[in-house]
Amino acid sequence: MMVRRPTGTPALRALVEAGIAHTVHEYEHDPRAAGFGIESAEMLGYPPERVFKTLLAADGSQLVVGVVPVDGLLDLKALAAATGHKRLAMADPAVAERVTGMVVGGMSPMGQKRLLPTVVDSSALGFETVLVSGGRRGLDVELAPADLVRLTKARVVPIGSR
């Protein structure tokens, strides 16, 4: 992998500024696609367990980020336990967009307006590289899971289910 110049998204700028090796993957997003993450895996030709989606959950006042494979579900109880919350629910999409500065289907765990508590599913460590959104629909970034964890200051625990 090589370090690429940013193409304008905060996620790509964060990677370049941190000196993290990554590869940018772009594809033509189909606005009719039902699942953004599955679309990404299919369009880029990667197995869905290696492509991760960024989901936001809330306890009513605080947001947290869960990063799980696109073909799985976020276990809200496991995410709550990992972040010290009693209970979490999926965040309102409008709130998530406002807080991160990114649109649903293009939210990256990197380059958000402010660093939120982040948990990456432990399955990510089973791969040499994983893909996450690059900060807009149709843009993914491939990087080492350890670099993703370091850049987002994430905890790594099992938070995904299939």
Instruction: Using the predicted structure, report yes or no on whether residue 49 has a pLDDT greater than 60.
Output: yes
Say which amino acid occupies 134: G
Has residue 16 been placed in a domain?
A: yes
Q: CATH number, domain at 72?
A: 3.90.960.10
- In this prediction, residue 29 has a pLDDT band, given cuts at 50, 70 and 90, of confident
- 3-state class (DSSP) for residue 14: helix
Query: Is residue 1 in some structural domain?
Result: no
Tell whether 123 is covered by a domain: yes
Q: For residue range 129-151, what is the model confidence (pLDDT) as tens digits?
A: 999 999 998 999 999 999 999 99
- Confidence at 35, pLDDT banded by 50, 70, 90: confident
What's the confidence (pLDDT) of residue 6?
Answer: 44
**Surface-to-core class of residue 58, CB atoms within 10 Å of its CB (0-12 exposed, 13-18 middle, 19+ buried):** middle
Provide the number of structural domains found in the chain.
1
Its domain, for residue 16, covers: 10-161
Domain annotation covers residue 128:
yes
In a domain, 95, yes or no: yes
| pLDDT above 70 as % of the chain | 96
Tell whether 4 is covered by a domain: no
Residue 2 domain-assigned (yes or no): no
Band of residue 1 on the pLDDT scale cut at 50, 70, 90: low
| Biggest alpha carbon–alpha carbon distance for the chain | 41
